Amino acid sequence: MRSFLLVDDQPSVRQALRMQIELEPGQTVVGEAGTASDGLALAQRLQPDVVIMDVALPDGDGISVMTEVRCLAPRSAVLILTMHGDEQTRTRAMQAGADAFAEKGTAEAFGSALREVVHSCTLLRCDEKALNMKGG
């Protein structure tokens, strides 16, 4: 089962994301947060496979907060979600280490980014298992 944490200040966006994620078998949303601080606490406690993080949060910038997520939940992949689909925001997110990037309001783009991050997460798990089997 692939687990997801949703961090977005808009409940309606979280609800739409949950519906889209849970349409796929083997995927479940294990937590939701409306602020960066709540998202960080849940990421640390839940250790989800994927954190979906909005850029604009009431108490922080999701791209900057992503660095803290990486420390608290190092095995979690991070998908940055934003209304700001400009190239500067996308570049900033990817340079900061986002696994994927999607714009709000485009279900196709979100679905594609979600598949990308789930695929990379699966590859990462396979690489970790191979390392563990080799004693690495």
Q: Angle formed by the axes of helices 107-133 and 11-22, to 10°?
A: 60
- Confirm if 22 and 49 have CB atoms less than 8 A apart: no
Q: Which fold would CATH assign to domain 2-133?
A: Rossmann fold (3.40.50)
Q: How far apart are CA 45 and CA 42, in angstroms?
A: 5
Q: Which helix (H) or strand (E) holds 126?
A: helix 107-133
Tens of pLDDT, residues 68-105:
999 999 999 998 988 877 889 889 998 988 888 888 76
Supply the DSSP string of 35-102, one letter for each residue: SHHHHHHHHHHH--SEEEEESEETTEEHHHHHHHHHHHSTT-EEEEEES---HHHHHHHHHTT-SEEE
pTM: 0.82
Q: Average pLDDT in the 120-136 region?
A: 40
Question: First CA to last CA across the chain, in angstroms?
Answer: 25
Tens of pLDDT, residues 48-61:
999 999 999 999 99
- Confirm if 7 and 36 have CB atoms less than 8 A apart: yes
